[in-house]
Amino acid sequence: MKKAIQDYNQAIELNPKDFNAFNNRGTAYAKLKQFEKAIQDYNQAIELTQRMPVLLTTVVLFTKN
């Protein structure tokens, strides 16, 4: 997972408007139980695209846990 996070960091650096990179990095953080970082990334992904209701659901699930 740490390698994946490094790859997503690079993707975000190259394209900071790529909501998929934030979403995927958030998922990687969640798998490492780094929920605060996961929520931050999911929130950024949501901000970049308001058309993804599944992201809102994911944030709610992690926020409640």
Cβ–Cβ contacts within 10 Å for residue 1, how many?
13
CATH of the domain at 19: 1.25.40.10
Sign of CA dihedral 34, 5, 11, 50: negative
**Number of domains comprising the chain:** 1
pLDDT in tens, the chain (65 residues): 899 999 999 999 999 999 999 999 999 999 999 999 999 999 999 888 876 666 667 777 777 66
The domain in which residue 29 lies consists of: 2-64
What pLDDT is recorded for position 51? 64
Reported pTM: 0.77
pLDDT at 49: 81
